[in-house]
Structure 1
Amino acid sequence: MPNTPNTSANDGSGYMLYHSIGQYPGKAKEMAASLTAFADCWGAPDDEQWGYALGQRQRFIDLWNQLLKAPRASLTTTENVTSALAAIIMALPREDLEGRVVLVAGDCFPSLHFLLTGLAGRYGFELRTVALREGANWVEDEDVVAAWGPEVGLALLTWVSSTSSHRCNLEALVAHGRKQGSVIGVDITQAAGLIEYDCMAVAADFAISTSLKWMCGSPGGGILQVMPDMIARCQPSLRGWFSQDNIFSWDINAFSYAPDIRRFDNGTPSVMACVASVPALEWHAEQDWGVQLNKNRELCDVIISAADDAGHELASPRDPAHRGGSVMVRLGDGDEAQALLSRLRAASVFADARGPILRCSPGFMTSREGVDRLVVALRDSRSR
């Protein structure tokens, strides 16, 4: 592939890994400044450490709460989506799971399926995984509905799949689940921060996510959002002094859960991921997200056209209303995908692959110039 003039490996123009790690202008500098400020406070020989540290955690929570339009005191921090789902499973009333079915789609995030497989026997539920149709790239909503009857105690919906960018119809699926009497959760990781998610409008019982991707934060910055009526029904097994309304209640025989999302906290909370992520979340909150989404859609259209021209199969929905912020393209095999990634990297274009599936997510720093370099690589791949 010919070199492109005036292309720097770190200018972000060819960065298309927002399904993995989000970037924004000045991220490294702002993250370093935030962590340095934390280190200066934490290392000072005075008594101001906890006020600062917990204040940063609360700022993280407030920014996520604002983004998701979540009810007050319904969102807390977790390490990742797997620990968030585990917290819910271990907190639900016994009758919601024991002898019932937990429903999940076959294109969910694998880590969550690993967790559910391991917990099924311990909590007495059957794990029902809705399979992909033969040759399909994602699970169809109608197949989820067909598998979802009143025996389903809990259904975990994947809003946008990490392997196809298929976006499910949350409104229809949640409405169906309400008729079945199921607890409904949504993994919003692959679209949160790019496509609007309104907790009140969706009305699922809980949502889980991370700050890594479109939110441009750091590892460890996960969130768990639970609606107030569901919180009242939950008694988390993993509990500690921060699970109480008054965390300084030291009577070891008089534990009582906090009345809100704090009951999902446990011991002394981790704050480092919050400190590292707050600058990104603050930057994010200042953006015009209509403009950002339109830009993503325009660049995705260019990638789709290039894949079509090169004769590659599109592994994502063509209709943007049914797609997240990524475009997946099926190449011949894994070796072809890795060879293409090497050529892209040489041209300062950064994507990744899962087997033969090339994953491209144009985001906040991606430019048309960067996408054009991807187009050249896809065009060249046709002749190889």
Structure 2
Amino acid sequence: MLNLNDEFPLVPGLRYLNHAAVAPWPKRASDAVRRFAEENISLGARNYPDWLKVEKRLRERLMRLLNASSTADIALVKNTSEALSFVAFGLDWRAGDQVVISDEEFPSNRIVWEALKPRGVEVVQVNLGGSDPEGALLAACGPRTRLMSISSVQFASGLRLDLPRLGAGCRDKDVLFCVDAIQQLGAQPLDVQACDCAFAMADGHKWMLGPESLGVFYCRSDLREQLALHEYGWHMLEHAGDYDRTEWQPARSARRFECGSPNMLGAMALEASLSLLEEVGMDQVAASIEQRVLQLQEGLQRIAGIQLHSPLNPARRAGILTFSWDGWDNQALFARLREQQVICAQRGKGIRLSPHFYTDPELIEQSLTVLSQLRQG
């Protein structure tokens, strides 16, 4: 039987509410990396074929997590920004083309599109503050719109968008739909087929509980050859491993975006972490996160002067709750909380809290007590 205290041992005094930034690893990920290191010390790469089996399982887990149609749709990339760059600098843009984004995007999903300005591409930023953010985004898509790129969950407010509606709207308007899923994948179920995603990407170090520098890039099969390649090497070839072959072509699968040697160390950790999410089940993960966010919400609402900046409707959020406090400077409040070992982040209009499914409810109560004591002080 799964014991989450074994996977995430409690550290006395530590209240970790920062999974929307960088998450702790489960013990099984640490064990996998330790075994990998010990094997390297004693055997080097003698068992490399076994390492490739782990990488294969990782692709299969990511395929299931995204509900992609095949592992051929999955590329292992360094991070979300790299995958976004594959799209931005792979498409054949024409002067006057437009990209629609929101006005709340993390820089990764803004700068990459603004960098296309020399090619004549215009970035249209849409305000999400109204009652119908999806309607506003789709209304901004005109005849010159080539692509919509949106974070499924906004990093500062925690607003979760209706991806199936956006995907269907983009399809009807003949607009490519690109999803930065870093704040959803591992926290909420995500179905790239049901959402009509052309592209989706996420890092492994947040809700997927993995290491930094290893993420996933989903590229729909009919679009892979439409993205011009800008990185080349032995690993992205259709016949990778046939080193004597002089004729070559890019892999037909999404491996075409993986130019060189894989991050095998990261693969060991992320594959183990995803095995935990699969064991628990994404529906249960999402339900547990919602319970903890609701616990935080209700506790914060009991403290006079606190303003919540995240949606209160569970259908509009994943794992993020952001608040500010009248009379407190956000930076000063963040520093005081950190002194009390409440690990959070300063984002947007306030302090961002982000528990995961395994977060002990008692730690949430302790964090709320810390805030109450700050008020009393």
Q: Give the TM-score, by structure 2 length.
A: 0.87
Structure 1 position 126 matched with structure 2 position 125: no
Extract unaligned runs of 5+ from structure 1. Answer: 1-7
- Tell me if the contact between 1:130 and 1:139 (Cα under 8 Å) persists in the aligned partners: no
Q: CA deviation at 1:247?
A: 1.1
Aligned counterparts of 1:270 and 1:116: Cα–Cα separation in 2: 27
Aligned identity (percent) is 24
Q: What letter corresponds to residue 11 of structure 2 in structure 1?
A: N
* Structure 1 residues 196-217: Cα deviation after superposition (integer angstroms, max 9, x where no partner): 1012211211100011111100
Instruction: Quickly say closer, same or farther: Cα 1:380–1:54, change in 2 above 3 A.
Output: same
Q: What letter corresponds to residue 17 of structure 1 in structure 2?
A: N
- Tell me if the contact between 1:12 and 1:366 (Cα under 8 Å) persists in the aligned partners: no
Cross-structure match for 1:21: 22
Cross-structure match for 1:329: 323
* Secondary structure, aligned partner of 1:145: helix
Alignment of 1:80-229 (within 5 A): 80-92=79-91, 94=92, 96-121=93-118, 123-131=119-127, 140-229=133-222
Aligned counterparts of 2:367 and 2:136: Cα–Cα separation in 1: 35
Q: Which moves more between the two structures, 339-348 or 281-290?
A: 339-348
Cross-structure match for 1:3: none
Q: Which moves more between the two structures, 50-59 or 154-163?
A: 50-59
Q: CA deviation at 1:9?
A: 7.1
How many residues of Structure 1 are paired with residues of Structure 2 in the alignment? 367
* Structure 1 residues 274-301: Cα deviation after superposition (integer angstroms, max 9, x where no partner): 1232221112211143333223222222
- Tell me if the contact between 1:168 and 1:322 (Cα under 8 Å) persists in the aligned partners: yes
Aligned counterparts of 1:249 and 1:353: Cα–Cα separation in 2: 50
* Structure 1 residues 27-55: Cα deviation after superposition (integer angstroms, max 9, x where no partner): 2x433432233234444567635424433
Structure 1 position 319 matched with structure 2 position 313: yes
Q: CA deviation at 1:12?
A: 8.6
* Secondary structure, aligned partner of 1:59: helix
Instruction: Quickly say closer, same or farther: Cα 1:98–1:55, change in 2 above 3 A.
Output: farther
Q: Which moves more between the two structures, 356-365 or 202-211?
A: 356-365
* Structure 1 residues 49-81: Cα deviation after superposition (integer angstroms, max 9, x where no partner): 542443332222221112111121100111110
* Structure 1 residues 169-225: Cα deviation after superposition (integer angstroms, max 9, x where no partner): 112211111122111111111011121101221121110001111110000111101
- Tell me if the contact between 2:277 and 2:285 (Cα under 8 Å) persists in the aligned partners: no
Instruction: Quickly say closer, same or farther: Cα 1:101–1:383, change in 2 above 3 A.
Output: same
* Secondary structure, aligned partner of 1:379: helix
Q: Give the RMSD, CA atoms, in angstroms.
A: 2.7
- Tell me if the contact between 1:331 and 1:356 (Cα under 8 Å) persists in the aligned partners: no
Cross-structure match for 2:291: 298
Aligned counterparts of 1:97 and 1:329: Cα–Cα separation in 2: 42
Alignment of 1:32-71 (within 5 A): 32-44=30-42, 48-71=46-69
- Tell me if the contact between 1:165 and 1:328 (Cα under 8 Å) persists in the aligned partners: yes
Aligned counterparts of 1:232 and 1:259: Cα–Cα separation in 2: 8
Instruction: Quickly say closer, same or farther: Cα 1:33–1:372, change in 2 above 3 A.
Output: closer
Q: CA deviation at 1:355?
A: 6.0
* Secondary structure, aligned partner of 1:201: coil
* Secondary structure, aligned partner of 2:76: strand
Extract unaligned runs of 5+ from structure 2. Answer: 1-8
Instruction: Quickly say closer, same or farther: Cα 1:281–1:230, change in 2 above 3 A.
Output: same
Cross-structure match for 1:279: 272
* Secondary structure, aligned partner of 1:200: coil
Aligned counterparts of 2:45 and 2:329: Cα–Cα separation in 1: 58
Q: Give the TM-score, by structure 1 length.
A: 0.86
Cross-structure match for 2:3: none
Q: Which moves more between the two structures, 309-318 or 138-147?
A: 138-147
Q: CA deviation at 1:166?
A: 0.1
Instruction: Quickly say closer, same or farther: Cα 1:47–1:167, change in 2 above 3 A.
Output: closer
Instruction: Quickly say closer, same or farther: Cα 1:209–1:31, change in 2 above 3 A.
Output: same
Aligned counterparts of 1:267 and 1:346: Cα–Cα separation in 2: 43
Q: CA deviation at 1:164?
A: 0.4
Cross-structure match for 2:4: none
Aligned counterparts of 2:294 and 2:99: Cα–Cα separation in 1: 36
Aligned counterparts of 1:84 and 1:12: Cα–Cα separation in 2: 38
